[in-house]
């Protein structure tokens, strides 16, 4: 973890600009993820002629690679410094574009082309985990641990904003210049981000003996479990809101997703100092209560407006869960282990989102689509109780950093 250069005098626009100057690299990595996201499934299935299984696998490989490599990204950020990790991640993003380019050039050999796409997706997954984790830690090292909640919040805004912007632009780019042009665009974005990152000052790395992974996990796993339970609402809304609206015979599922996204980003923008003022666990308790209410309202909705209000509340509630719990989790370990702690904490959300889809799908097949929102509300309520227990628990004894 970088040594925090605590600067409490930073505030307002100046603070936000310093954070944005670093989280822009996380924006670049997610923008590169978003560009081919809506293109590759159709390309693999319709153009290359492979089954829907392979189309889905090409997309999923990136998420599996991110999940498996994220703990390593945190560990290397602690030892090598976040700037080097971000540069490594952006190189991976660039190489993913090279993989897509070679796949488009080898379209006459479908199996080879598919293999190249898969390799590109795996490299992108590793690149994103390094760029994303490194950007957060670089931001903390730039503005100090006093503002860690704000750094995490801005990283989330960058992630969701980049994906939302990248997906439609990727479809537009593919329509006019094909996969070759899209690949070159990805490479150009990664190269520009890499060159800009080179100009940014690095931050010091905290010296000290790192804790073993099992000790880091033992200190943050309860916060990770609360995050995983709280992520259930996001998972079922993102995956099943269209089916929910179809089952009800309503229009407007896309607008409901837009409401969720607006509430998510809006809460982070309108309450930027809530974590530092109220404390991470207090904010998490409020967020879980709001998210639970929103999910219950969605599941019990008898009219479209009820579902929309529910989705809006769920988005606002979930918005600050990750940074609120993350602030407390990373402070449970010494500075030289905070990169590993943040990365391990994030894995809980990755796993939760991976499990939520199939588990909710099975429940929906047995009990109907409305039930998955009631069940998700129950899981978030359990997260609220867990956060309450964590709040009452005495703080962990500080570990020596030497």
Provide the CATH number for the domain around residue 307.
1.20.1250.20
| Ranges of the chain with pLDDT below 70 | 1-11, 52, 206-210, 394-402
Given this model, what pLDDT does residue 379 score? Answer: 96
Residue 205 bridge partners (DSSP)? 2
Asked whether 1 and 335 are in contact (CB, 8 A), the reply is: yes
Same-domain status, 324 and 181? no
Given this model, what pLDDT does residue 96 score? Answer: 96
In a domain, 114, yes or no: yes
Tokens of residue 400, six digits: 């020596």
Q: What CA–CA distance (Å, rounded) separates 56 from 401? A: 44
Same-domain status, 287 and 140? no
Considering 199, 229, 261, which residue would you say is the last residue of a domain?
A: 199
Given this model, what pLDDT does residue 398 score? Answer: 44
Same-domain status, 177 and 53? yes
Same-domain status, 183 and 255? no
Same-domain status, 191 and 219? no
Same-domain status, 256 and 138? no
Asked whether 384 and 227 are in contact (CB, 8 A), the reply is: no
Given this model, what pLDDT does residue 194 score? Answer: 97
* Nearest one of 324, 330, 383 to 352, comparing CA atoms: 383
Same-domain status, 162 and 250? no
In a domain, 90, yes or no: yes
Q: pTM, whole model, 2 decimals?
A: 0.78
Q: 3-state class of 205 per DSSP? A: strand
Structural domain span for residue 321: 213-392
Given this model, what pLDDT does residue 106 score? Answer: 85
Domain count, the chain: 2
Given this model, what pLDDT does residue 10 score? Answer: 55
**Type and span of the H or E element at 108:** none
In a domain, 46, yes or no: yes
In a domain, 2, yes or no: no
Given this model, what pLDDT does residue 252 score? Answer: 81
Same-domain status, 292 and 172? no
Given this model, what pLDDT does residue 402 score? Answer: 30
Q: What CA–CA distance (Å, rounded) separates 380 from 376? A: 6
In a domain, 1, yes or no: no
In a domain, 337, yes or no: yes
Considering 171, 199, 227, which residue would you say is the last residue of a domain?
A: 199
In a domain, 207, yes or no: no
Task: Give the residue carrying structure tokens 């924006």.
Answer: 27
Distances (CA, A) of 365 to 126, 234, 354, 360: 34, 19, 18, 9
Same-domain status, 195 and 223? no
Phi/psi of residue 38, each to 5°? -90, 0
Tokens of residue 272, six digits: 């930027």
- Opening angle at CA 385, ends 383 and 388, nearest 5: 110
Q: What CA–CA distance (Å, rounded) separates 390 from 388? A: 5
In a domain, 36, yes or no: yes
Same-domain status, 226 and 86? no
Same-domain status, 280 and 349? yes
Same-domain status, 242 and 340? yes
């Amino acid at each position: 973890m970088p040594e925090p250069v605590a600067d409490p005098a930073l505030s307002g626009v100046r603070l936000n600009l310093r954070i944005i100057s670093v989280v822009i690299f996380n924006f670049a990595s997610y923008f590169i993820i978003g560009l081919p996201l809506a293109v590759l499934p159709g390309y693999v299935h319709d153009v290359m002629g492979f089954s829907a299984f392979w189309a889905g696998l090409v997309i999923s490989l990136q998420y599996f690679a991110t999940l498996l490599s994220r703990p390593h990204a945190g560990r290397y950020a602690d030892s090598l410094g976040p700037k080097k990790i971000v540069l490594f991640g952006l190189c991976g993003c660039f190489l993913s574009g090279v993989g897509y380019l070679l796949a488009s050039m080898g379209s006459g050999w479908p199996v080879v082309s598919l293999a190249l796409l898969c390799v590109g997706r795996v490299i992108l997954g590793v690149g994103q985990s390094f760029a994303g984790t490194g950007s957060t830690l670089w931001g903390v090292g730039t503005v100090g641990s006093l503002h860690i909640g704000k750094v995490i919040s801005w990283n989330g805004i960058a992630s969701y904003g980049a994906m939302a912007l990248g997906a439609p632009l990727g479809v537009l780019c593919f329509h006019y210049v094909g996969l070759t042009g899209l690949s070159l665009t990805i490479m150009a974005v990664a190269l520009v981000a890499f060159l800009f990152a080179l100009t940014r000052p690095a931050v010091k790395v905290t010296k000290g003996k790192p804790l073993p992974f099992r000790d880091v996990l033992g200190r943050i796993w309860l916060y990770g479990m609360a995050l995983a339970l709280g992520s259930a609402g996001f998972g079922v809304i993102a995956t099943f809101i269209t089916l929910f609206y179809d089952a009800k015979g309503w229009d407007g599922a896309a607008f409901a997703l837009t409401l969720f996204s607006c509430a998510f980003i809006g809460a982070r923008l309108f309450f930027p100092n809530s974590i530092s003022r109220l404390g991470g666990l207090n904010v998490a308790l409020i967020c879980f209560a709001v998210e639970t209410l929103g999910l219950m309202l969605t599941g019990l909705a008898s009219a479209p407006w009820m579902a929309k209000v529910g989705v809006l509340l769920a988005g606002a509630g979930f918005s600050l869960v990750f940074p609120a719990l993350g602030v407390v989790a990373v402070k449970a370990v010494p500075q030289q282990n905070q990169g590993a702690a943040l990365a391990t904490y994030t894995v809980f959300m990755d796993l939760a989102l991976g499990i939520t889809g199939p588990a909710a799908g099975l429940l929906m097949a047995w009990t109907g689509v409305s039930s998955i929102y009631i069940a998700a509300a129950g899981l978030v309520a359990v997260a609220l109780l867990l956060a309450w227990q964590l709040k009452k628990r005495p703080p962990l004894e500080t570990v020596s950093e030497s």
